[in-house]
Structure 1
């Protein structure tokens, strides 16, 4: 226990708590849509063919992803100019506004535009990772700090579907079953009848605004230059904390002398201030330590920055190791997003007994309601939290990162392949089987997938980090995040079309079989990779 206390000494708990609150609210916003988006598209009456609904739900998901892909690097570069904190707050407020527009949308095109704007206004994914790297100033705190980010993502994935699937907050217009008599006034009934998907978005938007307010008041700027500027939000927050009896540190803008930097407390990833422009050829000014201990610059930028396209073709930056781990990351993002987006579509699709014939003919889905879908997604999210906080640290201590990653990847093909065939175990198809059989199989399949993804993502993040030269990590991190956003755009577009095409022809199992092959490809990539040392600079080894 003493060694643990020693390891935790100096951990920036307060700042990490604020960052985790920001991170925690975003998966709630992302996953709260899953339980009801199928019904929302259906209620827009954009198509009369139920098999085409999945195509339109895919377009809604894709509009968010392509906008985020297009704007992610630009938000990162803006954070280099104005600081991390303003960009994070803009992202939260933008998401809240767009969620409200989405919830009150009365046709498909408004919903599509709202999701597109939500992606364009939020570049927080990469900025949060950069901020954590700048907050954590000692290497002994690195593992815990970076493990907290996926953990709180999984916590958000528990709460989001519960909000979106709540029968008190979401009520599809065509859902006539399970009518509940509420003790509230008629205003509630008239409101939720007129805007059946708005109330859950009001709740989630409120959470985002609470996170934005917390960030405005209590998040310290981490950018080397921006943190020296007066921060009115932090000043108000310091007053609140001081009133409550907390000790307030002296802020950078209160210093009377010119800013100096302590070598031993500089951030982990401050080799190039972890800017998004790092890696494009900018050479920082050479620095030397003066007798007083401060750092003085002895030269200015010595090299003209290369273009982004030139950097992408530079094999000294994007080595075989980086490309191999980056491709594996891309593939995993692709197939896990397909599962997350389209398992609710399969669950919500109408059960069509006349179009089922084992094993070749499957059409429709399981006719689940929003609350049932939300319960499944929340349960699997809880399992994900358990894996990240309990199982992953044990694995990390006893097996190599690459071995754990390979083990996680092996779970995906199994989980994907069995999904469509579970429909043949329902009482509607086989009356001899009780309903708990197919529900157990469905929950088990979803849990296998969430176990795989909960273990795979922190490990591939570490593998990418170790495969990257320290001086290029800023560029490579933002590039991989953009590539992953592109995967999130491609996945719903491709799978929405595939699902509609094959479902219309009574072969709804084919997209899931293909997805299992994509999962198997990630297994192949994992065995082509190796575990690289973060301290080794050479990057000419193969994947």
Structure 2
């Protein structure tokens, strides 16, 4: 289904650039921390000497990834609740600090169990993904801005997929490899690296995290509807830097005193407001509204029959106001048809229209984390040759496949980083064009069909290692596969996030985002744990294609589930633009609003 076509200028009109950039700098550091482990996890587990043989390394690598995801399952929902109770900004800062501590423990681990604890802490102490989704939804309130705003999540992940693997691939210096410690490193650094070869990339990632923490403290505005007017000392310091160093005039904050009219005593203003509120409450709630409108609006109000009372008007405002998108639900005691309370998170996640987007997101998270975690592991396996004829491969097309292609960490890091750059270009240049022409579901369903093809291709890279086949064929083959995955991921991730956001009830989007992250984390827990065993088994039995082809089946399930998702109604966006186009004619605007809401007014009066 084609969407209403907008020009790029129309789509960008009023886009919240400033705060979105601040949030992006916070988000940028986290995918670096997440993806920097991929190039060296195989060698890290191997150096811990916990796996009895190389084929079992996949299983223990899966443990590291699954421990992180399992702890995210436990904590993500609670971090969402924490952000609702205390604010978005404090939640983000706690997550950044927790991730930094976890990375340092990981880098200086002596054994596998210390690394396992570090990865578990990383999952427990960080719930920023769900909180950032909520912040973006509270910053970009117009439908025409939402797809591009939510696309910053995969865009920043792609940037992280560029920087993270580079850090993890090129800053690991292991004994007996071609990647040696540079001679210009200080002696104390060489001693540390020799004892802890995986510490340096984690220390560098911590620097990125501290930069994100500083940026959030100084420039991020609170978006929680209750706490956004609370005094923020960090933001005041940021405003001082803007004004005195950057030469930017900051806007007045809600907690700052008003100096208009020569009066700076805010206490008298509060007393006057409170007195007005008392007088309003003393008035008769059933009094008609005609006393509160001026003569120019009298005609439009009188034309609505019957005349609304004060109580009815307050209910109408609360129902349709665009300025209260996170009103709490008022049905705590009502029971839905499924037997749950209408306000319960279980009811909203499993028995409303948001269920299908969340279930599709679960499957997507599962197969994508398996690819990200185990493609480097698969490529790092040594090339298996025929014992009787070392010039021939032990693998036999099409069913007997064993081993990998012997890639080093820096080679895998280069592969992931360069395809990450491609993903950034896709989000920047291709996504806006596609988003203006097609709706979310059309984009998502079309691209999900490419994943099964890609996964079927992965294990057959082994057959390109023959003597007669040029080495560049392997590089081209891997870039095609990883490029398809990057292209699809960059375009489908913002669509599924937008579908979840718009399918969620307005009053509990932050909690649902936290629950979504927990459910996605459960996929990231199950995926590496199960596929670690599958890959180890398939390597031992010379059927490496089994682990990759099974991912194709999961992609087909996601495609089937996507046809049960309700499409986003873009008619509301068109109505809003029509209303903005008629703002120069107040009578026309009032008439259109009255016609558009007549059924709701009638139901209120009844």
TM-score by length of 1: 0.86
Offset at 1:150?
2.1
CA distance in 2, matches of 1:460, 1:280: 28
Q: Residue 456 of structure 1 aligns with which residue? A: 492
Cα–Cα, structure 1 residues 239 and 472, in superposed 2: closer, same or farther, change >3 Å?
Answer: closer
Offset at 1:134?
2.2
Q: Residue 305 of structure 2 aligns with which residue? A: none
For residues 282-334 of structure 1, what are the alpha-carbon distances to aligned partners after superposition, in whole Å with 9 as ceiling and x for unaligned?
A: 5xxxxxxxxxxxxxxxxxxx8799978983553x7744632222211111111
Indicate the SS of the match to 1:253.
coil
CA distance in 2, matches of 1:357, 1:4: 52
Q: Residue 377 of structure 2 aligns with which residue? A: 345
Cα–Cα, structure 1 residues 484 and 279, in superposed 2: closer, same or farther, change >3 Å?
Answer: farther
Instruction: State which of 440, 462, 468 in structure 1 corresponds to 2:476.
Output: 440
Between stretches 398-407 and 111-120, larger displacement belongs to: 398-407
Offset at 1:481?
2.2
Gaps of 5+ in 2: 1-5, 258-265, 275-316, 387-393, 573-606
CA distance in 2, matches of 1:179, 1:434: 28
Cα–Cα, structure 1 residues 350 and 498, in superposed 2: closer, same or farther, change >3 Å?
Answer: same
Instruction: State which of 81, 87, 98 in structure 1 corresponds to 2:85.
Output: 81
CA distance in 2, matches of 1:279, 1:72: 22
Q: Residue 174 of structure 2 aligns with which residue? A: 172
Instruction: State which of 391, 416, 419 in structure 1 corresponds to 2:455.
Output: 416
Instruction: State which of 116, 119, 125 in structure 1 corresponds to 2:120.
Output: 116
Whether the 8 Å contact between 1:280 and 1:311 is mirrored in structure 2 is no
Indicate the SS of the match to 1:321.
coil
Offset at 1:519?
1.8
For residues 59-99 of structure 1, what are the alpha-carbon distances to aligned partners after superposition, in whole Å with 9 as ceiling and x for unaligned?
A: 10111111111111111111112111111001011101110
Cα–Cα, structure 1 residues 486 and 534, in superposed 2: closer, same or farther, change >3 Å?
Answer: farther
Instruction: State which of 474, 492, 517 in structure 1 corresponds to 2:553.
Output: 517
Whether the 8 Å contact between 1:466 and 1:533 is mirrored in structure 2 is no
> Over the residues paired in the alignment, what is the CA RMSD in angstroms?
2.8
Instruction: State which of 32, 42, 45 in structure 2 corresponds to 1:41.
Output: 45
Whether the 8 Å contact between 1:40 and 1:172 is mirrored in structure 2 is no
For residues 470-527 of structure 1, what are the alpha-carbon distances to aligned partners after superposition, in whole Å with 9 as ceiling and x for unaligned?
A: 4454443332222111111111111111111221222222111111221222222234
Indicate the SS of the match to 2:185.
coil
TM-score by length of 2: 0.77
Offset at 1:466?
3.8
Instruction: Kindly tell me the number of residue pairs found equivalent between the two proteins.
Output: 502
Give the 5 Å matches for 1:186-225. Answer: 186-225=187-226
Cα–Cα, structure 1 residues 50 and 201, in superposed 2: closer, same or farther, change >3 Å?
Answer: same
For residues 139-173 of structure 1, what are the alpha-carbon distances to aligned partners after superposition, in whole Å with 9 as ceiling and x for unaligned?
A: 5533332222221221111111111111xx21234
Offset at 1:365?
1.3
Instruction: State which of 224, 245, 248 in structure 2 corresponds to 1:246.
Output: 248
Q: Residue 56 of structure 2 aligns with which residue? A: 52
Between stretches 242-251 and 223-232, larger displacement belongs to: 223-232
Between stretches 136-145 and 501-510, larger displacement belongs to: 136-145
Q: Residue 71 of structure 2 aligns with which residue? A: 67
Asked whether 1:379 is paired with 2:403, we answer no
Offset at 1:269?
8.1
Whether the 8 Å contact between 1:330 and 1:487 is mirrored in structure 2 is yes
Cα–Cα, structure 1 residues 507 and 414, in superposed 2: closer, same or farther, change >3 Å?
Answer: same
Q: Residue 356 of structure 1 aligns with which residue? A: 395
CA distance in 2, matches of 1:510, 1:452: 23
Gaps of 5+ in 1: 283-301, 537-543
Between stretches 142-151 and 83-92, larger displacement belongs to: 142-151
